[in-house]
Amino acid sequence: MSRKKPEKLVDENDVRIDGRKLNELRPIKIEVAVLGNADGSAYIEQGKNKILAAVYGPKEVHPRHLALPDRALLRCRYHMAPFSVEERKSPAPSRREMELSKVIREALEPSVFVEYYPRTSVDIFIEVLQADGGTRCAGITAASLALADAGIPMRDLVVACAGGKVDGRLVLDLTDTEDKKGEADVPLALMPNFNAITLLQMDGSLTIDEFEKVISLVLDGCKSLHALQKEALKSKYVAVKEVVEE
């Protein structure tokens, strides 16, 4: 009953299967305001991840009895398309999707001025069209942009990234294979201007020292991601300004 020996995920030169260095993010593309009906939306590609986020609100709450008297009700649905993963996933919400919907909501809520709009709801939808590890983080990064695109006042953007341990090395931005076969996965979300961590999970096995180093790695990754987030948010308007001033 011997366990299968794990394949090598990182080689002797600290290069990962997809050619990345230990502290390198996957290639990222972000676009804001991609959907016509939603009040705010954003699309992100991170490696093979393809994720769409949309926001509706603030608007009247349905059903009415859920309305909160002193603030907006934030609701979040994280969902994976059946074709997003290798083996077709049933469209019914899984326990994992329910947990992620909760932690994602809790990651985004500290950034929204919910007190400004009592008795309304702000609904956030995250649809994973293709998944390859780190979808909750990419989803948060996109959802935060969707909230900003909807014109909802926020304290800060929220940016998220995961780190972990693979083949004994501490790495940034794990793919699905690295997460499944590695030793630890630590997703984290942050309000960058306040260094406020709004999502933190971990599964695997790390010493305290390793954990500290992974956190440091992830915070750096978040910083780079945040710059891309801001650029994506501004880019539409910058483009128009440049055209007009020609």
Restricting to residues 166-185, name those near other proteins by CB under 8 A. Answer: none
Least distance from other proteins to the Cβ atom of residue 208, Å: 6
Q: Which is nearer to other proteins, 29 or 236 (CB)?
A: 236
Alpha helices in 60-156 (DSSP H): 95-108, 135-149
User: Read out DSSP for 2-63?
Assistant: PPPPPPPSB-TTS-BTTS--TTPPPPEEEEE---SSSSEEEEEEETTEEEEEEEEEEEE-SS
Q: Is 119 near other proteins (CB under 8 A)? A: yes
Q: Is 233 near other proteins (CB under 8 A)? A: yes
Q: How far is CA 202 from CA 53, 109, 215, in A?
A: 24, 20, 11
Q: How far is CA 148 from CA 55, 124, 135, 153, 156, in A?
A: 9, 12, 20, 7, 9
Considering only the stretches 46-54, 129-137, 166-174, 207-215, report the one whose residues sit in contact with other proteins under the rule CB under 8 A: 207-215
Restricting to residues 66-95, name those near other proteins by CB under 8 A. Answer: 69-70, 95
**Which of residues 81, 177, 211, 228 is near other proteins by CB under 8 A?**
211
Neighbours of 164 (CB within 10 A): 28
**Which of residues 29, 62, 102, 223 is near other proteins by CB under 8 A?**
102
Q: Which is nearer to other proteins, 79 or 129 (CB)?
A: 79
Q: Which residues pair with 131 in a beta bridge?
A: none
Q: What are phi and psi of 91, to 5 degrees?
A: -65, -20
Least distance from other proteins to the Cβ atom of residue 129, Å: 23
Least distance from other proteins to the Cβ atom of residue 219, Å: 7
Q: Is 237 near other proteins (CB under 8 A)? A: yes
* 8 Å CB contact between 148 and 112: no
Q: How far is CA 67 from CA 33, 62, 63, 90, 203, in A?
A: 28, 8, 8, 31, 35
**Which of residues 7, 12, 86, 245 is near other proteins by CB under 8 A?**
245
Considering only the stretches 16-24, 106-114, 135-143, 163-171, report the one whose residues sit in contact with other proteins under the rule CB under 8 A: 106-114
**Where on the chain is the footprint of other proteins (CB under 8 A)?**
1, 3, 39, 57-60, 69-70, 95-96, 98-99, 101-103, 106, 109-111, 113, 117-120, 148-151, 153-157, 186, 191-208, 211-212, 215, 219, 230, 233-234, 237-238, 240-241, 244-245
